[in-house]
């Protein structure tokens, strides 16, 4: 299956379980991989035969910069659900959501979740 990658999209949001996260906010980094047949788009050079990257970006942005979720798992699920609903030609969508600086004591680079969902669940 062919793939479209939207890598390291950065947004500022207010998601988390700690009060400082929902008050001060923080950066989020999102990667999306869309599994889709790109043969016709490649043959015809026609945008309607592929996925409009700007529309995917706008979906991700609307959720990450929108109303807060407690869990990045729930935020990720909602983003992927909307991508699959808006683009039925996408067979599978993988989303990685990174929280570079969560308020957790200790030394680490980041925390993240990655989910993969398809048109049939």
Q: What's the CATH number where 26 sits?
A: 3.30.1130.10
pLDDT at 107: 81
pLDDT at 103: 81
Show the domain range for 69. Answer: 3-118
Which residue shows structure tokens 């400082």?
20
Torsion angle of alpha carbons 14, 70, 107, 98, nearest 10°?
A: -70
Give the catalytic positions in this structure: 99
Instruction: Tell me how many domains the chain contains.
Output: 1
Q: Measure the CA–CA gap between 77 and 65, rounded to whole angstroms.
A: 15
The structure's pTM equals 0.94
| pLDDT tens column, 56-110 | 999 999 999 999 999 999 999 999 999 999 999 999 999 999 999 888 888 888 9
Helix (H) or strand (E) holding 33: strand 26-35
| Residue 8: alpha-carbon gap to chain centroid | 10
How far CA 103 is from CA of 26, 64, 112, in Å, comes to 10, 18, 14
């Amino acid at each position: 299956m062919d793939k479209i990658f939207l890598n390291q999209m950065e947004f500022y949001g207010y998601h988390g379980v700690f009060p400082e996260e929902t008050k001060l906010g923080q950066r989020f980094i999102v990667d999306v991989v869309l599994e889709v047949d790109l043969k016709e788009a490649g043959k015809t050079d026609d945008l309607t035969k592929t996925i409009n990257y700007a529309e995917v970006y706008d979906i991700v942005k609307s959720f990450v910069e929108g109303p807060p979720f407690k869990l990045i798992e729930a935020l990720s699920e909602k983003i992927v659900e909307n991508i699959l609903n808006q683009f039925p030609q996408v067979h599978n969508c993988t989303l990685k959501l990174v929280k570079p600086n969560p308020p957790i004591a200790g030394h680490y680079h980041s925390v993240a979740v990655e989910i993969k969902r398809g048109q049939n669940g």
